[in-house]
Structure 1
Amino acid sequence: MADVPTNAPIECPGTQSQQAGKVSACNGCANQQLCASGASLPPDPAIEIIKQRLQTVKHKLLILSGKGGVGKSSFTAHLARGLATNEDEDIAILDIDLCGPSIPRIMGVEGHQVFQSMSGWSPVFVEDNLSIMSIGFLLSGPADAVIWRGPKKNGLIKQFLRDVNWGELDYLLIDTPPGTSDEHISIAQYLKGAGVDGAIVITTPQTESQIFPPTTGGGRQMAIDMDVPFIGKIPLDPRIGKCCDEGISYFSEVPDSPATKAYKNIIEEIRKFCASKPANDASEVEN
């Protein structure tokens, strides 16, 4: 079935629920009869619009983690900065961690504003070839809370994909919330037509000294179990967190550190992976 319409009541059980169209929240909804019948809703027209909008984006990568606090957003930021060292490539981050949008702070552009033109929303630029879009730019202050149910989150993610003027990009990195939630379902559905090259999963432990001894083999064993590539590990360095808090590039501050070398090796593996995929060819991507 298609996703919940953006104008659905906040208590909407969702089209996949056995209670769809049958509970009190459904009263008055234009889709009540259709949901109750179990028939499929028509495809959201935004999927095709987003496909057309993202035709100028060569590679799209999701950044995921099973829980919070493992360094997912900081990895996304470092991956973007590392890719952007090639001045011939254009990189962007879409931050869909709607309840905890940390990317603007990590990238040093907290407090900047998003402008709208005839061609859509303009992302905030960190460098000439590195831009960002985040709900953090739409809030009045960093202390503001976002307490939204699924349909409203779904609507904003759709708007980010449909209405942001990304321009021509080599890589669009999508920073997602930890775990699995409405945001993940929405981004997968809306990118179904545009295609995704793959996902990068961030796990812990990640230190050579084994501060947290693995009980299941860690990320390497998980990669083996799931038959996916293990692309590397990053040694723990408190300077990474310090640079993220200050919104500066760790690569520039500590260019010869073991963590910088590890990041660069991982970025090279990601480049190789994306080079093996047809650029912006949704037909080659399993959804």
Structure 2
Amino acid sequence: MAAAAAAEAAEPGNLAGVRHILLVLSGKGGVGKSTISAELALALRHAGKKEQSISLMSAGFLLESPDEAVVWRGPKKNALIKQFVSDVAWGQLDYLVVDTPPGTSDEHMAAVEALRPYGPLGALVVTTPQAVSVGDVRRELTFCRKTGLQVVGIVENMSGFVCPHCTECTNVFSQGGGAELARLAGVPFLGSVPLDPELTRSLEEGRDFIRDFPQSPAFPALSSIAQKVLSEAPARLS
């Protein structure tokens, strides 16, 4: 589990200085939660906090080798989540974006319980257009309702491929599943992010996609999602 934050200042402390906490959720793996988490943090910084930096914490930083697997039972994972909340010096943060595993496991319950005392807690739910993904996300929305998580909105990732030569958009998978799910669930639809080789390259090279690829078809989608989060989160989490 990783967390990315657009920070106001690098002051020590735990989560007492966090204004908004967003859990990025999905019932299905492989939909791009980590990509959306990272790009949302970058887009939020560029949209609202242009002079501030990104802070990052991950269980991966605690492993001795990049090839090491986290083979832990639930209680040890839950203890680490609580340690992330209590021991990491997050400082004064505008947004803490928490990248979660797929599903609705004990880790999700531990994260919700550990984070809830520190201020407004909301969920951003990621899906892809396929019916199997949308079905899993419907169950994720049920999880949000049962745990009292306010859903800030739904993002549809991998929604078509824009040809870099002719700019025609091809729906590689289905179309419109995220928007329809948001309508049925009565939650905001934040936008669709197309498949983009430049986005993949920026992630692999550790580059700031929002800064370096403004001509990409994914750029306006991510920027728009960030603007909607900035407007939706304070209202829905108040």
TM-score range for the pair, normalised by the shorter chain length: 0.7 to 0.9
CA distance in structure 1 between the partners assigned to 2:49 and 2:205 by the alignment:
27
Question: Cα RMSD (Å) of the superposition?
Answer: 2.0
1:86 Cα deviation from its structure 2 partner: 5.2
CA distance in structure 2 between the partners assigned to 1:185 and 1:231 by the alignment:
25
Secondary structure of the structure 2 residue equivalent to 1:263 = helix
CA distance in structure 2 between the partners assigned to 1:88 and 1:268 by the alignment:
12
What are the Cα deviations for residues 6-46 of structure 1, in whole angstroms up to 9, with x where unaligned?
xxxxxxxxxxxxxxxxxxxxxxxxxxxxxxxxxxxxxxxxx
What are the Cα deviations for residues 235-265 of structure 1, in whole angstroms up to 9, with x where unaligned?
1112211211111122233112221011001
Partner of 2:110: 186
1:54 Cα deviation from its structure 2 partner: 2.1
Secondary structure of the structure 2 residue equivalent to 1:244 = helix
1:80 Cα deviation from its structure 2 partner: 0.7
TM-score by length of 1: 0.61
Partner of 1:261: 220
Contact 1:89 1:170 in 2 (8 A): no
1:59 and 2:1 matched: no
Matches within 5 A, 1:117-196: 129-196=53-120
Q: Which segment is superposed worse, 151-160 or 269-278?
A: 269-278
CA distance in structure 1 between the partners assigned to 2:197 and 2:50 by the alignment:
30
1:77 Cα deviation from its structure 2 partner: 0.5
Secondary structure of the structure 2 residue equivalent to 1:131 = strand
CA distance in structure 1 between the partners assigned to 2:231 and 2:48 by the alignment:
18
1:252 and 2:211 matched: yes
Contact 2:18 2:118 in 1 (8 A): no
1:146 Cα deviation from its structure 2 partner: 0.5
Partner of 2:163: none
Are the structure 2 counterparts of residues 276 and 89 from structure 1 closer, same or farther at C-alpha, using a change threshold of 3 Å? farther
CA distance in structure 2 between the partners assigned to 1:137 and 1:54 by the alignment:
19
Are the structure 2 counterparts of residues 201 and 88 from structure 1 closer, same or farther at C-alpha, using a change threshold of 3 Å? closer
CA distance in structure 2 between the partners assigned to 1:55 and 1:71 by the alignment:
29
Matches within 5 A, 1:1-287: 53-85=14-46, 88=49, 129-205=53-129, 206-207=159-160, 208-214=169-175, 218-277=177-236, 284=238
- Relative to total residues, which structure has the larger helix share, 1 or 2? 2
- The share of aligned pairs that are identical, in percent, is 47
Note the residue ranges of structure 2 that are not aligned, 5 or more in a row. Answer: 1-12, 130-158, 161-168
CA distance in structure 1 between the partners assigned to 2:82 and 2:73 by the alignment:
15
Contact 2:25 2:100 in 1 (8 A): yes
Contact 1:197 1:274 in 2 (8 A): no
1:189 Cα deviation from its structure 2 partner: 1.1
Secondary structure of the structure 2 residue equivalent to 1:67 = coil
Contact 2:47 2:226 in 1 (8 A): no
1:277 Cα deviation from its structure 2 partner: 4.9
CA distance in structure 2 between the partners assigned to 1:190 and 1:231 by the alignment:
27
What are the Cα deviations for residues 71-129 of structure 1, in whole angstroms up to 9, with x where unaligned?
11011100111112257478xxxxxxxxxxxxxxxxxxxxxxxxxxxxxxxxxxxxx52
State the number of aligned residues. Answer: 189
Note the residue ranges of structure 1 that are not aligned, 5 or more in a row. Answer: 1-51, 91-127, 279-283
TM-score by length of 2: 0.73
1:55 Cα deviation from its structure 2 partner: 2.3
Secondary structure of the structure 2 residue equivalent to 1:213 = coil
